[in-house]
Amino acid sequence: MKARPLGPDDVEAVCALVDRDRLPGQPPCTPERVRTALAGRSTTDPWWWRELATMRTIGVEAPDGSLVGAGALGRRRTGERYLLWLHAGEEPEMVEAVLWPLLRGVRRPDPIFALWSATELSVGLEGLPRGHRPATHDALLARGFTGEDRWLYLTAAAAGDAPETPFRRRGHGSELRVELEVDGHPVGGAELSLPAPGLGVIWWLEIEPEHRRRGLGRQLLRAARAVLAEQGTDDVVLFVDHDDPNARDRRPALELYLAEGFTVVDHLWSYRRGEGDAEPGGSRSG
């Protein structure tokens, strides 16, 4: 097998590799998404990607010339290295064939972080889906990385029970906000987006502290799904962070989501090796 930099002629082949790893609820990869990723940009957490100082891509060819694996390694202006993304069909040999040239020259004590930020190649996947990507998980651990279970990725049909509490929809285009109202005053809100045809994302929702434990979280969730359904979405995804249970107890939120028809598709893991503190990729919370 031969490792080389990726180029414009690899866009379709990278798209196919990404689709082999696609999770339920994720839209099909598009050439435009791949071009954006190869340019070192992302529409999710764009501020984080603008801090990349350099980025190196690697493609691995089989003897017949077909692309069997691809990945990218970036360095931020602060000096830390990040394994940004890797797709190799979950074939252990191919995963290692991509990892070896990407990590060449990075000493074991040097700080490096893997799969820490969402990329343009998926919608909101800030980490590796551990259950669906076991070969990549095992390869990272074998190379001395330590994994951290940071997020839950959930999906549901857009249609759900109608909310009983009044709400207001704000925003336009693909970015929306829903505000729940009690006696004419907002008591909570949710941030939504429409990143691909038929897909809606609930990035964040919260009830004001003085109005919690009254069932309003359920009403806000139903309002958010109702707005997304009105926009023609078929599927909804959301994310629940659970990397720091001492700071935030997400069990009540998770119980609500499951009761409202959401299913946990996978756990999203991030990885680190060497000494240093990673700068978080995003700040959303479910």
- Residue 210 pLDDT: 87
- In this predicted model, what pLDDT tens digit does every residue of 251-279 receive, in sequence order? 888 999 999 999 999 999 999 999 767 66
Rounded to whole angstroms, how far apart are CA atoms 203 and 238?
6
- Residue 94 pLDDT: 97
pLDDT higher than threshold 50 for residue 285: no
- In this predicted model, what pLDDT tens digit does every residue of 4-32 receive, in sequence order? 999 999 999 999 999 999 999 999 999 99
CB 70 within 8 Å of CB 60: yes
How does residue 173 score in pLDDT terms, banded at 50, 70 and 90? confident
Phi, psi of 15, deg, nearest 5: -55, -45
Residues in the chain: 286
Residue 82 CA: distances (Å) to CA of 119, 270, 273 = 12, 11, 10
Rounded to whole angstroms, how far apart are CA atoms 152 and 127?
10
Strands 199-207 and 235-241, by their bridges, are parallel
Fold annotation for 2-151+267-273: Aminopeptidase (3.40.630)
On the 0-12 / 13-18 / 19+ scale of CB atoms within 10 A, 274 is: middle
- Residue 247 pLDDT: 59
Rounded to whole angstroms, how far apart are CA atoms 230 and 124?
22
Pick the CATH number of 156-265 from 3.40.630.30, 3.20.20.70, 3.30.499.10, 2.40.50.140: 3.40.630.30
Neighbours of 246 (CB within 10 A): 5
2-151+267-273 matches 156-265 in fold:
yes
Rounded to whole angstroms, how far apart are CA atoms 146 and 204?
28
CB 176 within 8 Å of CB 260: no
Comparing 34-43, 90-99, 101-110, 128-137, the range with the smallest average pLDDT is 101-110
CA diameter of the chain = 68
The model carries a pTM of 0.91
Rounded to whole angstroms, how far apart are CA atoms 135 and 192?
33
CB 54 within 8 Å of CB 73: no
- Residue 203 pLDDT: 93
Mean pLDDT of 89-106: 95
pLDDT higher than threshold 80 for residue 241: yes
How does residue 174 score in pLDDT terms, banded at 50, 70 and 90? confident
pLDDT higher than threshold 80 for residue 103: yes
The domain limits of the chain are 2-151+267-273, 156-265
pLDDT higher than threshold 50 for residue 104: yes
Rounded to whole angstroms, how far apart are CA atoms 273 and 123?
26
